[in-house]
Structure formats: structure tokens, C-alpha cells
Chain A
Amino acid sequence: MKASVVKIIGLIALSLLCIIQISMLWLGDMSSPNFLEIKNISRDEVGMRPKGIWANLGLAYKISENNREYHYLMHELFSGIRNEKASLKIEKNVDMTYEMLMRMQGIVYEYAVALTLEELVGNPLEKYDKSIITDCLFVDISTSSENKVNVYLINSATNEISKMVLHQTLEGHKKMIATLSEQAAVSDWTVYQPSSTSDRKQYLTNNVFLPLISKASPLYYEQLTISNNLEKMEEKEKLEQLEEYVTSFFTNPLLKQIDKKEDGTILFSENLRAIVKYNPIGTMEFNILAPNEPNKLTKLERLQKVESFINDCSGIPEYLKKGIYLAQAWQEGEDYIYRFNYKYNGFNLQFREEARKELEINSVIELTLRSNQVIKGKWILLDIQPSERAEAKGSSVTRGYGEIIDLMYTLGGQMKENNMQLTNLECNYIVNQLEGNLKMDWVVTYGNGRYYP
């Protein structure tokens, strides 16, 4: 009797082990570049979207948000940091420079705003130094081993670099570097030179990834068109579309008031509690009357509130949600203001001053948080899409960064005399009108201004 019971238990145990091992074998294998599709990851879970993700192998490659790998890498890193929990130790001010880092193979996450680690990850983290803010993460693959990866946190304003050890494998990150090392995989990718390891690093304050462009190897880009398709619709259709956009603002959407003005502006309101306004130039703005409460959310909670607002807002176009990233965040009295920029396929859209003045807007999305709620906001409602014209294919930038630096040096007398440095130079889609094609060209940030050489 006893013998047969033991045998049965043994049989069940072995078959369970078999099932577990087979599932591990099937689902644990990452040998192919097709990473498993990660569906239904809420924005909160993934973490703060970086301005750019780069794979540095001496020369670097950009991983744009159109690649599945972009989302997989973010998920892998941030869940790795979350899982570290109790043993998360950050060593402040290690003896490391940007130049030394760019000589190592690794994955770089660039942000436009410096935040604390838990703000980047999107969840509160225990027992770590909250005074460390970073706007650039470097996941060091060159010295990584099984269950140990060094992650450097860089603050480009102060040049402070801190180091964190993750007791994770980060298999996806390793695989990314290995795949990109094979020439075949990147034969038509644009190659970037990290400025801190280049000859011209003295002309730039921080590390910038400079595309290696020349007449022999131009930067081909997808031409985009911008237009206000709402204004081209029939009145009825336009109103229907707008009503779809504003539903999330009202508790009783069917009872809202619609007020059409002569200049084309349309106001949607509900007992003056919420007012949503559509401007025919191509923007939407809203104002919510909220009871005055003292602000008791933490910085992280405020960020989470803003992020989930964007996620849930029916008024913000889907394509916009996919490409935006936090560009500025600051406090004015009781208000917390957040500005977002937009990038398409890895390239930022730079709205020139005349376009911004016409739209009467400061950034692609601007939100204000007060009394623990997002109470005010404005964003663009224009349609930005790939152009369908035949000549649009094969558009390219042919000037290299050297030419641009030379131009700035010649034109900016101050720069030459005072050994001043450029903050940034990159290729952006330039928006200088609200209807038509968008071309890509160099945008230089120097001092407080932007230049378009």
C-alpha cells in the first residue's frame, strides 16, 4: 500500500517537473531576434518613456519606438529595477566620465528631464538615495555577467555619475548588443558617433549622438505631412469627431452644452465644471473646476497622475500618445506644469516659433496639475502622417555634423571667442507651417536659443 502511494506521488512529481521544464524551454528561449510580443502593458508599468534609446558599440545605433525591441528593453530594465527592491544600492559619484562610458558597449536611455530613479521606473522604490537625479541611464553590457549588470546614472547638468548594480541577467539587452554587432543586421541603419569620444567633443557640453551623414551616406527619412483634417470635414462629421474627443471630460456627456462661435471655435461645457474648447487652428484645450485642496501628492504620484490622464484622455490623438515624451516639468506657486514633445520614428518634431505663435501653444501637450488633479491642458489636434507623394520617398539630409559645427563656429562669433559650446545638435522634422510637408534638417541648441543653419 505504502509502496504504491510513493510510486504515485513520484509519478505525479516527475510529470509536473516535465511540464515545467518544457514550458521553460519553450518560453524561456530568447535565441531568436523576435522577442515575444508584450501586449497590454499599461503606461504605468512600462515606466517613463525616454527621449531616445541607443545601442553603443563604439559607434552607436538608434533604437526607435517603432521597434518592438524598444518596448521590450524598457520593460526588461524597469521591471529588473523594480524586482531589485531590497538590495537596490546606488553608489554616488563614481570615478567615471561620459567619455569612458562611451568606450564601453551598452544600452543608453536618454531623457529630456532629470528625474529620480523611481520617477523613471514609475513605481515607488524603497531604500535608495532619492537625492540622485538622472537624465541618462547607461546599461553596461561589456562588463555584465550572469545575474550582474552595472547601470550608470548620469546627471548631465552636474556631470555626476552614480553606479547601481542589478542582480539580473537582462538577456534582451545583451542580445541587442550581440545582434547589432553583426554587420548584416545594421547594413542600412544610420550610424551615430558619440560626441564625447570624437574629435569635436570640445564643441559640445554633453554627449550627443551625432549621425554620420555625408553625400556618400545620406540620412534617408520618411517625409511627413501636417494638416488640420477636422477643418476639411463636413460640419456634422466634424462635430461627431469632436464629440468623440471630448467624452472623457464629462460625467454626463449627453447633457453637455455645445456652443459654436463665429470664428469656428466650439465650446463644450457641463455646468461650468468642465469646459473643453476646440480652436479651428488645430488645438484643443480644457479647464476643470476642482475643489481647492492642498497638494498632498508626492512628485512621483503627480507624474503618475499626469501619465494616466494622457492615457485615458479621449481628446488626445492616438498617434500623439505613441510618440510623446516629457520635456519639461516645473512648479509655479500651487501649479505643477508638464510639457511634452513629440517624436516620429525616433526623430523629434521641432515646432518653430512662428508655428507655435500661430497655434498659441508652447509645446505639443501642456498640462497643469493643481489640487491633486490635472485641471488644465492644451494640445495639438493636427494630423501628422507619412506623406503619400511619390517624390517624398528618398528624402534625405546630406550635410554632416562637421559642416554644421563649422557653420555655427563661423556665424556665432561669440562661440569662437569665448570657447562656448553647443548644447545639442540633431536632425529634427521642422514644423514652420501648419499645412504641408515637413522636411528634416539640423537643429542646433546653443545657449538659450535654437538655430536652423
Chain B
Amino acid sequence: MKRMNKTFLLLAFICIGLYAQAIYANDTVVSGSNMKLVEETNGDKKTVNLTSEDSYIRITLDANKYYPTTFETQLNLEGGAKEGTNIVIKVNSISTDKEDTVLILDTKEYKVVPIGSTKSFNQLIELFDGKNEINLTYTHVKDKKINGTMTFVIEKFTEKDKSKMLELSKPEINALTPLK
């Protein structure tokens, strides 16, 4: 009887933990500028795209991997744009201090090859630990669009954060499973 109670308690905690994780992961409130979230459904696959307000740039957000958080250091940033657009991507490692001012700690710049006939682009970028401000500057000479910018933030968690998150959501499991 006692064992059954413990099992039920464990199941209850797992359910709550998963529910909590699901809520956390679904939080796609993105902080940035000049963008909107556009949801596309392709058959049974849903994708959420970050699109610039003037619809020049579309970033593909993988519906299975919840942006703006990731554990990966390298990211293949994919998206679409009008043919002939020139894009420069700047990745800024940022931190916000107590007065909510944004400090840029480090930066990396990538010049993307001009958009061709398939109207898509991809760029392998490296993320810093913590908050990464992704800044896309785009220029389309023919359309006389010069230096439009689109910014959004991706947060990269470290292994330490991962174990912290696991601890918070599934306390009962940690007590029962032996440490490896």
C-alpha cells in the first residue's frame, strides 16, 4: 500500500513537472524590434516564423525546438528573403543590468551571401552563453530599402542551467534515482 502511494505521488509529480515544462517551453514571447510572429501550417506541421514588419525577412523557427532558448552553441539560422537582398547578421552577447540598460559584452558579424533564386538563406552562427541579441541588417538596392534592421533575442543555456531546470521540475525523481 505504502509503495502504491509513493508511486502515485511520483506519477503526480511527473505530470506536474511535465506540465510545468510544457508551459515554460511554450513561452515564445520574443523581445526585439521590427518583427512579428507569423504561424504557418504545412499539412500537419506547424511552423512559427519571425518576420520583419515590412515582410522582407522571414526567419524559420523550428516548431519542435522552442526559441528563443537553446542549449546548442552553434545554430544554423535559416530563413527567407526577397531575391537580391543583402543581409548582415550581428550576434551580440548582451546582459541587462539593474537599470534595465543593455550592455554588449561581445559581438560576432556574419555577411550572408546575397539572396538567390531560391529566396532562402542560411548562416551558421555561434551563440554566446546567456542572452544573444541577433541583429539582421538588410539592404535591397532595387527596392531602395537601405539598412532595415530586425532584432530578436535567443537565450543559450549552459549545462549548469539544464541541471537546475531538471531539479526544479522533477524533485521526487532525483530523490529516488541513484546518482550515476
Contacts and interface: CB of A to CB of B under 8 A. Distances in A.
Residues of B in contact with A, size category: 20 to 34
Grouping DSSP codes into helix (H, G, I), strand (E, B) and loop, the B interface class, with mixed when no group exceeds half, is strand
A409 B117 contact: yes
A193 B116 contact: no
Interface stretch (A37-45, A135-143, A195-203, A333-341): A195-203
A183 B74 CA distance: 9
B95 interface: no
Contact of B60 (A193, A199, A409): A199
A191 interface: yes
Contact of A199 (B64, B72, B111, B122): B122
A59 B74 contact: yes
A95 to B, nearest CB: 13
B122 A405 contact: no
B15 interface: no
Given A214-B110, A214-B123, A199 B116 contact: no
A406 B118 CA distance: 5
Given A402-B113, A403-B113, A212 B76 contact: yes
Contacts of A346: none
Contacts of B148: none
A58 interface: yes
Contact of A410 (B74, B111, B117, B124): B117
B114 to A, nearest CB: 9
B116 A198 contact: no
Given A191-B124, A214-B124, A215-B111, A203 B118 contact: yes
Interface in A33-86: 58-59
B121 interface: yes
A199 B124 contact: no
Contacts of A406: 116-118
B122 A409 contact: no
Given A198-B78, A410-B117, A402 B111 contact: no
Interface string B92-135: 00000000000000000011110011101111100000000000
A425 B136 CA distance: 28
Name, among B62, B64, B74, the residue most crowded by chain A CB atoms within 10 Å (CB to CB).
B74
Interface of A: 58-59, 103, 183, 191, 193, 197-200, 203, 212, 214-217, 399-403, 405-407, 409-410, 416
Q: Across the A-B interface, give the 4 residue pairs with the lowest CB-CB distance, nearest first.
A: A406-B116, A212-B124, A199-B78, A409-B117
